[in-house]
Structure 1
Amino acid sequence: MSDSVITLRDVKKNYQGIPILDVPSLEIPAGIHWLQGQNGAGKTTCMKVIAGLIPFSGEILLQQQVSSKKDPVTLRRLINYAEAEPLFPSFLTGRDLLSLYINTKGGDKDWITDIVDILGIQGYIDNPVSSYSSGMLKKLSLLLAFTGNPALILLDEPLITIDTAAVDTLYNLIREKNNEGVSFIITSHQPFDEQKITLTGKLIVADKTITRN
């Protein structure tokens, strides 16, 4: 079996008739990938397409087995996504959202509860998210991205708006999960500390397509 984590076949995305993404064929191997591109190039659109969160034409295969056409629900369960600027229903608490994700995606409840403490979320997880600062929302979003048993985690600008300790925790989580076989695609305008995580490669979004570098 191929070691690719994600395969894109004739994937196209238009907004109001304007082509935004056109990827004839791309295989992304398992590992940790840095998704790069200029502002407005379509990095976030790429992530949402891969995560199955917005409609597109074509097909995406996860680990050569799970098809976006034939089993989109399983695909979404096995791919987690954390937005650059997360928005959640304001009346829910962080614990409400965590319970929802655990019930939907499964996974190790004890492990994810430990991450609540390590990220420093325990002090406000029972408060409505309407009271959260941007940094608190970001930590919650990252926590949710590590719930369940994902094969692939997509992180959109994960290093912004969080403190230095949380960045170190994030590096540790990425390294731990990658050692367990989880792959990552990460956008970041800030360079990664390659002393802490080893990148498998870079993906470039330009001219409405994605290429491996």
Structure 2
Amino acid sequence: MDKVRVSVTGVSKTIKNQAVVSDISFALSEGSILACCGGNGAGKSTLLRMLAGITRPSSGEIAVNGMRWSENRIAYARQIGYMPDDYLFHHGLTAREMLSFWAALRKVPKSRVSEVLSRVGLEEQANKKVDTFSKGMRQRVLFAQALIGQPVLLLMDEPTNGLDPFWTQEFVKQLKQLREEGCSIIFSTHQLDVAEEAADQVIFMNNGINVGSGSVESFKHRYHSLYAAFHGSLGIESGIPTSSMI
């Protein structure tokens, strides 16, 4: 049986008496990729922030390799690489300087900076200031910082926003390579074609609720595509049974 890397049990988040995420449960095995899909306000980003330990659930439990945030926050965080949907970069710093800062925080060798710059195709721009970069290039810097600590769990919030078609495909290739290396990955997206190509499993969210989950292949078999599953037959409010083990 595959090793469970991430366990989420009955997780909910309430903000100002409003349920943002409601009773989400799933388990993700080692070396698997999960796409969390849904529209704006579906609760995807909040779920990722709870997984990353940035915000605490109002109820429920999250464990990574059996470790809970409440037991040892530092050890929990060391297992995770997190890519936010946006970041306010410091003015005047180069890509190499930014990643060197993150490497120091992670206590990893400086040689790791060059490795991740090469991996995201920014070695030639390493000494250029990040605030001059395009949106897509800044996304690749954020991707590099999420990788720098060689995490066992990679969390990414809308990672392909701003990427051109070439780098979107390169991103998918990178995810598949990371999966082969044993990394477990959870990313949010509203780009269903990316989810279909990159992910093994998918959760559809609407108003903080899991309205459908399972393998990408099972949805494709039933609906021919994730687009059809989400926008057509699933219809957000469909009666497809949800799965608690993915």
Q: TM-score, normalised by structure 2?
A: 0.74
CA contact (8 A) 2:95 2:129 kept: yes
Residue 62 of structure 1, aligned match among 61, 64, 69: 64
Cα distance change of structure 1 residues 134 and 102 upon mapping to structure 2, 3 Å threshold: same
CA contact (8 A) 2:114 2:123 kept: no
CA distance in 1, matches of 2:195, 2:20: 31
Q: For each residue in 1:64-120, what CA deviation from the matched residue of structure 2 results, as whole angstroms up to 9, or x when unmatched?
A: 2x1111011122221111122333233433222211222233557546524413533
Q: For each residue in 1:30-75, what CA deviation from the matched residue of structure 2 results, as whole angstroms up to 9, or x when unmatched?
A: 30111111221111111111111123334310022x1111011122
* 1:132 alignment counterpart: 133
Amino acid at match of 1:205: M
CA contact (8 A) 1:93 1:125 kept: yes
What are structure 2's unaligned runs of at least 5 residues? 215-246
Cα distance change of structure 1 residues 39 and 193 upon mapping to structure 2, 3 Å threshold: closer
* 1:183 alignment counterpart: 184
Cα distance change of structure 1 residues 111 and 179 upon mapping to structure 2, 3 Å threshold: farther
Which runs of structure 2 are paired with 1:109-128 in the superposition (5 Å)?
110=111, 113-128=114-129
What are structure 1's unaligned runs of at least 5 residues? none
* 1:74 alignment counterpart: 75
* 2:194 alignment counterpart: 192
CA distance in 2, matches of 1:174, 1:181: 11
Which runs of structure 2 are paired with 1:88-107 in the superposition (5 Å)?
88-106=89-107
Which range moved further: 89-98 or 152-161?
89-98
The alignment covers a number of residue pairs equal to: 210
* 1:38 alignment counterpart: 39
Cα distance change of structure 1 residues 114 and 2 upon mapping to structure 2, 3 Å threshold: closer
CA distance in 1, matches of 2:121, 2:28: 33
Deviation at 1:187, TM superposition (A): 1.8
Amino acid at match of 2:151: P
Deviation at 1:189, TM superposition (A): 2.1
C-alpha RMSD over aligned residues? 2.6
CA contact (8 A) 2:135 2:162 kept: yes
* 2:223 alignment counterpart: none
Which range moved further: 127-136 or 48-57?
127-136
CA contact (8 A) 2:96 2:113 kept: no
Amino acid at match of 1:203: I
Hey, which of these two has a bigger chunk of helix by percent? 2
CA distance in 1, matches of 2:165, 2:116: 16
Deviation at 1:2, TM superposition (A): 6.6
Cα distance change of structure 1 residues 82 and 130 upon mapping to structure 2, 3 Å threshold: same
Is 1:29 the equivalent of 2:29?
yes
Same amino acid, percent of matched pairs: 23
Q: Which protein shows a greater Rg?
A: 2
Which runs of structure 2 are paired with 1:134-173 in the superposition (5 Å)?
134-173=135-174
Which range moved further: 169-178 or 104-113?
104-113
CA contact (8 A) 2:5 2:184 kept: yes
